[in-house]
Amino acid sequence: MMIRGPMSSMPLFGLLRRPSSGRLARPLLEYRCRRMTRRAPEQQLKGFIAKFEPRDQTRIRACRKALRQRLPGAFELVYDNYNFFVIGYGPTERPSDAVLSLTARAGGLGLCFMHGARLPDPAGVLQGSGNQTRFIRLESAADLRQPVVEALIKAALARAKPLLPGRTQPIIKSVSAKQRPRRKPA
């Protein structure tokens, strides 16, 4: 089977579902996309957040609300991955265009700047040592209103493609079947 489009010469090896009871084999990617979109994206997002402790759920919702108000028109790209639950914000649906993201794990919440290594950080609040990404830990949505964090968000947005006005639904980009626990063990 061949993929149509810009990669038309690439075969789709290993991405076929096994045929069962006379059905035609379908690409696994198509199967996953169809399976993931049975529920509305907003409902899926609520389900992802519900995996966390009640205190963390409240913090995630409050930070998401604050970021949606701060970034009107940004696409919300949702990843429920093995290590982290992530909501990325960017001017397009492309993950590589994301400007920042809200990251959550059991007992921890952070704001990740995708190109944070190039941001001015006179206060030294950015953490991380990679070539590209930096982050700050968040205790609450109030941390997003601190002047130093506001300045970092403003600087990150100034370096990115402009956000277009309008509101979009979250886009579920990835859901990992196997995940670390979203709640701390008792």
Contacts of 186 (CB under 8 A, 6+ apart): none
| Cα end-to-end span (Å), the chain | 49
* CA distances in angstroms from 33 to 27, 110, 130, listed in the order given: 10, 28, 32
The pTM assigned to this predicted structure is 0.75
* pLDDT tens track for 102-118: 999 998 999 999 999 99
Of 131 and 186, the one with more pLDDT? 131
CB atoms within 10 A of CB 174: 13
Across residues 65-90, what is the average pLDDT? Answer: 92
How many angstroms separate the CA atoms of 140 and 60, rounded? Answer: 8
* Phi, then psi, of 98 in degrees rounded to 5: -60, 140
How many angstroms separate the CA atoms of 175 and 79, rounded? Answer: 6
Q: What is the pLDDT of residue 83?
A: 87
